[in-house]
Amino acid sequence: MMSNIKRVKVAIAFSATLLFTAAIPTAALAGDNKVYAGSMCQPETSASNQQFSRAAGQFSVQGTTSINLHCPVVRDITSGTENGSAGPLAFVHVFSRNAQSTTLQCELRANQPNSLSFQFQKLTIALSGGATGTPKKHVFNFTGPVAQTANGAYEVVCSLPPGTGVASYSIAE
């Protein structure tokens, strides 16, 4: 049987190991993926003729005016490289409730720290056939080549006509 002193020493050693292991930075953020609700996106302007709704986590464009959206991204890895990759991966889930063909466009931007310039990848799709209650869905898949900049910021920017919206978007660093 173990003496009480040995038990205390073992407990202290185990606790110290747990404490120091938790304090060591790990690569847990490498490959970090965050999913955002489309309702986090903000209209580029606050024009009074813009009509939209935020419901069930989605941003929906209503009325008769197209809206440019800016969707924020929290960036964890702020160095010049992440996962040995030239830039992040991003997915933007969009939808259309329009019966006629509708063009949606989104881009992934990597802004410079000075906010004077950015690199981007732009994707466009024409969706049709989305009747009310059964919206036509599409996923924009950004796989590069949006190079990151140390201490720069990411954002997703979409140009959406009426009857369309952003359901969600995700960024993998």
Residue 90 maps to a domain? yes
pLDDT for 149 beyond 70: yes
Residue 35 maps to a domain? yes
Residue 138: which CATH number?
A: 2.60.120.260
pLDDT for 29 beyond 60: no
Structural domains of the chain, count: 1
| From 33-47, 53-67, 79-93, the region with the lowest mean pLDDT | 79-93
Residue 146 maps to a domain? yes
pTM of the predicted protein model: 0.75
| From 3-7, 58-62, 127-131, the region with the lowest mean pLDDT | 3-7
Average pLDDT over all residues of the chain: 78
Domain of 109 in residue numbering reads as: 29-172
Residue 5 maps to a domain? no
Q: Could you tell me which residues are beta bridge partners of residue 8?
A: none
Could you give the dihedral angle defined by the CA atoms of residues 146, 148, 152 and 154, in that order, rounded to the nearest 10 degrees?
Answer: 40
Rg of the chain over Cα atoms, rounded to whole angstroms, equals 22
Residue 19 maps to a domain? no
Please work out, in degrees rounded to the nearest 5, the angle formed at the alpha carbon of residue 33 by the alpha carbons of 29 and 35. Answer: 140
Q: pLDDT band at residue 141, thresholds of 50, 70 and 90?
A: very high
Q: Residue 61: what residue type?
A: V
pLDDT reported for residue 8: 45
Residue 72 maps to a domain? yes
Q: Between residues 80 and 143, which one has the greater pLDDT? A: 143
Residue 33 maps to a domain? yes
Residue 113 maps to a domain? yes
